Amino acid sequence: MDEVVDEPVVLPGQMQFQWAPDADSSGENRERSQSEEDNLSKPSMKKKAAKPGRKSKTAALVAVAAPAEKKTPPKKQSPAEQKQKLKSAGGKATAARKTHHGTSSEGVKTTDEPTASDVTSEDSAVASEPSVVCQEKTDQENVSQDVSKSTSEIASRQSYHEVMETIDLKWGARLPKVGFGFWKVEKDKTAEVCRTAIEVGYRHLDCACDYGNEVEVGQGIAQAVSDGLCEREDLWVTSKLWNTYHAPEHVQAACEKSLADLGLEYLDLYLIHFPIAQRFVPFERNYPPGWFFDPNATNPTIEEARVPVSDTWQAMEELAKSGLVRNIGICNFGTSQLRDLLSYAKIRPSVLQVETHPYLTQEKLKRYCDQQKIAYTAFSPLGAQSYFSLGMADPTEAVLKNPIVKDIAAALGRTAAQVLLRWGVQRGTAVIPKTSSRDRMDENINVFDFQLTDAQMNAISSLDQGRRFNDPGDFGEAAFNTFLPIYE
């Protein structure tokens, strides 16, 4: 048997480490109508050290939030001078945000910047001198309010990013505990949703070939970087190998296709999406290929291929060695499948991603991952919301409406979604909710300033029913004319 590699994977030119769409994808994290969609190791609160000669992020926050000194109102200003004052105030707020992200603020316009349209027009400013003085005072108050609102929003975004907990991986990488999932995000909204999520403070982006929107995610990333919201190195981008590309000769091409669509040179994490090998479908024939081998057939079915997971994993290891990906892992694997993979892996999986929520706590699988030092990421962390429109869950199964969850949320002054996500991160997992609503993006990421008591954690965990909503053994036959079980 080949010896297991226990040395860090080093990317060329990099520092060495030490150790899916619906008609409405507005979010899953509140009690809402059925048509609305949803939206390891050890936590780390470490922050990047400030670069020499530059203020730390905390100092920048203080500088931005510091109130301006009161000044004696000028006797009189022309409308042009009023506009210039407002423009200057917006520029200062923009510069403060750019300083926080470590990039130049030149030539960048922010949506938080006040505009000259807030100033009274020249025609309305040609009244008598007392009226002009009164208008000047009002304009100055408006400027102060606009700047206060702008800096408050900036500080909020910075706070989410600053307090984000992470999971330390074996090779020294840090996986943000709250990510943003793109499953079922509408394609025509994805680019803006992605950019907005980054602006709110998300740095962990969960993508996949099968979601059909990686091009648009890439556009959102590019816009966010161009706008100075982040650098590529600040992001953790995950993608997944689809079932039709399990044969070793197709693995690298599939990865490179995702990279090209995302507009990236490397992935932070690449996962085998399912422990299911399907018959190969060329890119030019159908991409993403989905579940049917030939969707235009009279009786379309899923056609499996005889490809051992060991062959696929060996090709995944080659991706890690090449530098195209920095970490490799698996999705939808159970304990037995994971144990078998570990028996032959030369590079061990960094992350396991599986469905997890209070109705499916997967305690044994989570404990086994902890034991093996494999990070654990929960998809569908809010439960059934994503599956109502697919006919894969009943509204009565909504975890968000569970009385125990609602009572805890009321006691804490939080939403049910925040309680569920806090339960996930507090038990040591990463969570990847999704939403198209900016308000809910804020809500979902704002879970690091409170804790659940042991009694509350246990009460939520006791809701476990073993209820799996995303099971190919159930939906395969109903939706794709093929019985395709992967769980006992």
Residues labelled catalytic = 211
Helices (H), 345-385: 363-372
Contact 431, 381 (CB under 8 A): yes
Annotate 239-254 with b (16+ C-beta within 10 A) or e (fewer).
bbbbbbbbbeebbbeb
Whole-angstrom distance, CA of residue 355 vs CA of residue 13: 36
Which residue type occupies 420?
A: L
CB 151 within 8 A of CB 175: no
Q: Which residues of 177-195 are buried (b: 16+ CB within 10 A; e: fewer)?
A: bbbbbbbbbbeebbbebbb
Evaluated on CA atoms 206, 208, 211, 213, the torsion sign reads positive
Structure tokens at 180: 């943003």
The sign of the torsion formed by the CA atoms of 180, 486, 369, 314 equals negative
> Are the CB atoms for 416 and 383 separated by under 8 Å?
no
**Cα separation of 185 and 26, whole Å?**
9
- Tokens for 58, please give them: 């905390």
Cα–Cα separations (whole angstroms), residue 252 to 10, 197, 215 = 18, 29, 18
Q: H helices of 327-393, where?
A: 335-344, 363-372
DSSP secondary structure string for all residues of 174-214: EEESB-EE-TT--HHHHHHHHHHHHHHT--EEE--GGGS-H
Provide the token pair at 464. 């476990």
Phi, psi of 373 (to 5 degrees): 60, 45
DSSP 58-88: HHHHHHHHSPPPP-PPPS---HHHHHHHHHH
C-alpha 358/C-alpha 366 separation (Å) is 13
